[in-house]
Amino acid sequence: MESDPVVAEVRAVREQLAARLGFRLHDIVKEAQRQDAAGDRKVVRLPPRRPFSAAVGANKPEPHAGSNGGSNPAVTQSR
């Protein structure tokens, strides 16, 4: 598989940052949060999405393939 130069650069920068911070996850997260706060990007907060089943109004799961609602015409019960 060919090496993507962009991926290689991102991984190298990530490795350098982690090494500079002693590979301490807490410090890496704090640094990322500090850089985010110092940036000028606008953060967009969207409302939570409704689950798909609620969006289409289907509250019960679909029956399994070949199912006919639990009755099996091949099986007869005698009373």
Q: What 3 state SS string does the chain have?
A: CCCCHHHHHHHHHHHHHHHHCCCCHHHHHHHHHHHHHHCCCCCCCCCCCCCHHHHHCCCCCCCCCCCCCCCCCCCCCCC
**Domain ranges in the chain?**
1-40
pLDDT at 26 over 80: yes
pLDDT band at 7 (very low <50, low <70, confident <90, very high): very high
The tens digit of pLDDT for each residue in 36-79 reads: 899 898 888 899 998 877 555 555 656 666 655 555 556 555 55
| Phi, psi of 59, rounded to the nearest 5 degrees | -95, -15
